[in-house]
Amino acid sequence: MIGLKPRCNGPQGRLGLLCVALSLPLATPLTAATIRVDDDNTTTVQQGTVQYPYNSLQIAIDQAANGDTIQVARGTYGNIDNKNKALTLLGGYPGATATDYQAGVGGDFVQQSAMQGGDTIISGGAAQIGVTLTRNTPDAAFFLIFDRLTVSASRKGILCDNAVSWPQAKDVTISNSIIENNGLPGDISLGAGILLCGENATIINNLIRNNQGGRGAGLTTLGSVMNVLIKGNRIENNICYDDHGGGIYLAGTAILEDNLISGNRIDLGYGWGGGVLILGTAKMSRNIITDNYAPTYGGGVFIDEGATAELDHELIYRNRIAVGGYGGAGLAVDNGAPGPSHLTLTNSTVAENVSDNRFGGSGLYIDNVSTATVRNSVFWGNGTDFYVRTGSSLSVTYSLSQQGWSGAGNLSQDPLFANPTTGDFHLRSRAGRYNPATASWVIDAEHSPAIDVGDPSAAFVNEPAPNGARVNLGAFGNTAQASLSDGTPPTHRLTLTNRGGPLGRVVSTPAGILCGTTCSALFVAGTQVVLTASATPGSVFTSWGNACQGRQTDCIVTLSEDRLATATFMTPGKGGWWRAMPWLKQ
């Protein structure tokens, strides 16, 4: 095993996540060799040893056997091809100076640099791919590991050569590396930073930025890429000149966790998925998706035709679409062949995704016959939060939205974010709120209505005490950075309208309503309130309305939100029944 120093690339500090420490199984045979490379060895002795390393990385690959490890010193190297071999390439070693090698002292290949990218630079120039991944040995064990390398200023960064490789290059791991400034302006061919075509890929703790090309300018996975893990990366400021996926284009199946996806865009008159486009099946957790742009819809995340996406603890804010676009600056769910798309969004915050669009729904746009389910989430500052086209469906429960939406446990009140201007969407709390800028807890004068009002059946065990024994709404609910309960349980108001006045009264259990005189009261959220109607002598109770239905004298109302109930009393009159209300008397 090779232990790699954990790196925190931004989103972890904001969402309260642990850095990822890599321990990568190399799966190399016991006879595998270690080969050294340093471009500062200008001697005529090129042996791949500590004393006399190769000065060409490609020559080292040519000399390597399956399963070998190549240690590469800091320096600049030309484009490479793994030549169908299973290899481990580790950058960031100190190596030595040309003078040291001339003296036969040798280089330092003991400890990799802790720095991302390792100052080990691979560049193919404008005409060449930086790293080409190939495989043509279907029966042999295959893997590729790239760690602490910088691939930059190439025609493409790291590209799986799908045309010549069969079966495709699988079990590829790219970690602690920088993939930047690859591609060409106006190029619409797939990918520019990383393009993968085989199963079981791991992309972890990398900086993928300023690449430009076709779909998925930062990272592209083809439909054959099953079980890809994309974790702890910064994927930013990539430009797509095609119509799908500015930052990431995902086919196949993928897990995305703890990434910062920002500033990516589609540079075309139309297009979808500025930050992330999903064309297969994806699970996304604890990502920050901000400041991405797509002209038509899906500025932040676009769930494309027939795709399925499960998102939880996502922070999606200030993504954009063009003026006159469809909507869905934050999220959009598409439809079309091969079928409808499906989104499940849990404990997420979708905020300040604004656009002057045709239909509304700057937070979440759902196209024909597709579906979305939202739970324990916050939508705020998006203009209109939701747009649901005819034939599609949206279920929202236990969520806060500025637009307001019908559903159990929903509310529409200012969530009292800590400081949206600086991107801090923690909930203000009189008992304590985590401040990521100082990595400390602070006390607020205000208390967010989104604290302790999530689905009562949802887990809250990761929230620090006091937590009210109920999950908070939004991206930080059920995390170590959940805002604290102030000890006062949340409440909802039950209001009763007595249609009959003195002809009857309604009493609540627990106590609070005695209507007659007191017709509105606050109860702890989730309380089942029993309303009992009783008529005065000579009158009768006839029916309930609104939150209560039927003619039984008792009615049970569960207060998952503010509720209104109506009780009607009547008295017999000559020739039949008539409503005993003063404004109806003759």
Rounded (5°) CA angle 30-200-149: 70
What is the DSSP secondary structure assignment for residue 282, as one 8-state letter? Answer: E
Which residues, including other chains, have CB under 8 Å from residue 109's CB and lie 6 or more apart? 36, 50, 53, 71, 73, 93, 94, 95
pLDDT at 223: 79
Separation of alpha carbons 342 and 334, rounded Å: 9
Residue 555 domain flag: yes
Backbone angles phi, psi at 571, to 5 degrees: -135, 145
pLDDT at 15: 53
pLDDT at 525: 77
Q: Domain holding 514: CATH number?
A: 3.10.20
Separation of alpha carbons 287 and 284, rounded Å: 7
Instruction: Note down the domain range covering 530.
Output: 491-584
Residue 498 domain flag: yes
Q: Write down the residue that tokens 């950075």 correspond to.
A: 481
Backbone angles phi, psi at 106, to 5 degrees: 90, 175
Residue 324 domain flag: no
- Sign of the C-alpha dihedral, residues 472, 473, 478, 483? negative
Which residues, including other chains, have CB under 8 Å from residue 425's CB and lie 6 or more apart? 315, 317, 349, 351, 378, 417, 418, 474, 475, 476
Task: Assess contact for 520 and 498: CB atoms under 8 A.
Answer: no
pLDDT at 53: 98
Residue 171 has which token pair?
């079990």
Q: Please count the structural domains in the chain.
A: 1
Secondary structure class of 102 (helix, strand, coil): helix
Residue 576 domain flag: yes
Phi-psi domain of 472 (left: phi exceeds 0; alpha: psi -120 through 50; beta: other): beta
Separation of alpha carbons 377 and 355, rounded Å: 21
Tell me the pLDDT of the chain (586 aa) as tens digits: 333 333 344 444 445 443 444 444 434 444 699 999 999 999 999 999 999 999 999 999 999 999 999 999 999 999 999 999 999 999 999 999 999 999 999 999 999 999 999 899 999 999 999 999 999 888 778 999 999 999 999 999 999 977 777 888 999 999 999 999 999 999 999 989 999 998 999 999 999 999 999 999 999 998 778 999 999 999 999 999 999 999 999 999 999 999 999 999 999 999 999 999 999 999 999 999 999 999 999 999 999 999 999 999 999 999 999 987 888 999 999 988 888 999 999 999 999 998 777 777 899 999 989 999 999 999 999 999 999 999 999 999 999 999 999 999 999 999 999 999 999 999 999 999 999 999 999 999 999 999 999 999 999 999 999 999 999 999 999 999 999 999 877 778 999 999 988 899 999 999 999 998 889 999 887 789 999 999 999 999 999 999 999 999 999 998 878 899 999 999 876 333 444 333 333 3
Separation of alpha carbons 531 and 548, rounded Å: 9
Residue 158 domain flag: no
Per residue, what are the HEC states of 321-385? ECCCCCECCCEEECCCCCCCCEEEEECCEEECCCCCCCCCCCCEEECCCCEEEEECCEEECCCCC
Separation of alpha carbons 166 and 137, rounded Å: 8
Residue 499 domain flag: yes
Residue 234 domain flag: no
Q: Write down the residue that tokens 């007659």 correspond to.
A: 516
Per residue, what are the HEC states of 15-73? HCCCCEEEEECCCCCCCCCEEEECCCCCCCCCCCCCCCCECCHHHHHHHCCCCCEEEEE
- In terms of DSSP bridges, do strands 253-257 and 228-231 run parallel, antiparallel, or are they unpaired? parallel
Separation of alpha carbons 535 and 508, rounded Å: 15
pLDDT at 516: 85
Which residues, including other chains, have CB under 8 Å from residue 496's CB and lie 6 or more apart? 506, 513, 515, 519, 520, 531, 564, 565, 566, 567
Separation of alpha carbons 248 and 241, rounded Å: 13
Residue 577: other Cβ atoms inside 10 A: 11
Residue 428 domain flag: no
